[in-house]
Homo-oligomer: A and B are copies of this chain.
Amino acid sequence: MSTPPLFAVILAGGSGTRFWPASTRELPKQFLKLAGKRTLLAETHARIASLIPLERTLVVTAAAYAGLVQKTLKRLPPGNILAEPCARNTAAAVAWAALEIEAREPGAAHVVLPSDHVIHPAPRLRDALRAACDEACASGALVTFGVRPSYPATGYGYIEIGSALGEHQKLAIHAVQRFVEKPDRARAESFLASGRFLWNSGMFAWTTSSILSALREFAPAVHGPLSLARASERASLYPGLPSISVDHAILEKARNVRVVPVDFTWSDVGSWSAIPEVTTPDAHGNSASGGTTVITEDARGCVVYGKLGELTALIGVENMVVVRAGKCVLVCPKDRAQDVKKIVTRLENEGPSFL
């Protein structure tokens, strides 16, 4: 079988503020250097650059971030940025990108990648992408990537694997038994123990024709308007589209869904407390992000964020998050990192200049 051209669709429209004060509406998480010297978006591209060139990479993002995307990926053709006028979740983004690819290269396959996750080592990701694309091209399946869990995470959705259906590139392909929403702790532990549940990584591989067929069948309110419009008019239709995720709209309904179990290190880096998962801590378990220098006396398990050329000094503290960004400093225990959103909500009323 001949391999069709492979495209990448990078989803870079997120605007969350769980990484405030580093992330803001003007500079969301995918544009931060949370886990290395490059931004998460730059790392996302770098991991697949040897597999898929920028000419075949589309980035779907909010119109407000188009400039940041171009600045991050300088050689990305400007026409490869699909600038959404408003957020309509992933089904609309996936549909728009698929229609664009189908117009450029009928019969192609593509992978869909979030821009704000951390994965390593990159070669293992590329192996998995190749295997998934082979399966997608061979069977027309919609292929997901299931990460073998390393702890009983309650913050991720899970995929229960079904029967083995063969292999590509020495990686097994499985049917999907079911998708499961974020479990409570006890369920997460039973998932881990069973060996049959994988973290749903939010990445996909499929042929363009397969995903367009599925969108036509399961998300006609998204697919219909976009497919009927000219390419140049799709953005203007956005406000009228339903806001629905590709997982709910398609993956949980389609019959031809597969999963590639993978064992690379993966994190969606959901909050400051996830930084230790994606950096190399010092001998006392303190993790630095963003380039800051850290000096400690009797400090353990802390997460520090700051810029290159800045210094954070920690004395006698444990499991503390210390973030410096712009005009703001944040200090909170790791297990309160989710409460950052409370501060953000209050600042919307009390101090918008700090957002």
> Complex formed: what's the CA distance from A311 to B352 in Å?
11
Does A324 lie at the interface of the complex (its beta carbon under 8 Å from any beta carbon of B)? yes
- Which residues on B sit within 8 Å (CB–CB) of A315? 330-333, 336, 339-340, 342-343
For A295, list chain B residues within 8 Å (CB).
343, 346-347, 350-351
A271 contacts B by Cβ under 8 Å: no
Q: Which residues on B sit within 8 Å (CB–CB) of A327?
A: 309-311
Nearest-CB residue, chain B, relative to A320: B331
A228 CB to closest chain B CB (Å) equals 48
CB pair B329 A293 closer than 8 Å: no
CB distance from A38 to the nearest CB of B (A): 22
Chain A, 284-315, CB within 8 A of any chain B CB: 293, 295, 297-298, 306, 309-315
A320 and B322 alpha carbons, distance in the complex (Å): 12
- Closest approach, in angstroms, between the C-beta of A333 and any C-beta of chain B? 5
Q: Number of residues in A with C-beta < 8 Å to the partner?
A: 35
Q: Which residues of the partner chain B approach A297 to less than 8 Å between Cβ atoms?
A: 336, 339, 342-343
Per the bound structure, the CA–CA distance linking A78 and B221 in Å amounts to 79
CB pair B313 A331 closer than 8 Å:
yes
Tell me whether A261 is interfacial, beta carbon within 8 Å: no
A320 cross-chain contacts in B, Cβ below 8 A? 317, 331
Contacts of A333 in B (CB 8 A): 315-317
- B residues near A306, Cβ cutoff 8 Å: 329
The residue that A329 contacts in the complex, of B298, B309, B312, B351, with Cβ under 8 A, is B312
Give the residues in chain B near A342, CB-CB below 8 Å: 297, 315
Residues of chain B contacted by A354 (CB below 8 angstroms): 293, 311
B317 touches A332 (CB 8 A): yes
- With contact pairs A295-B347, A320-B317, A350-B295 given, residues A311 and B336 touching in the complex (Cβ less than 8 Å): no
Chain A residues proximal to chain B, CB less than 8 Å = 21, 293, 295, 297-298, 306, 309-317, 320, 322, 324, 327-333, 336, 339-340, 342-343, 346-347, 350-351, 354
Q: List 5 A-B contacts (CB under 8 A).
A: A311-B329, A313-B343, A314-B332, A315-B339, A331-B331
A-B residue pairs, 3 tightest by C-beta: A315-B332, A316-B336, A311-B354
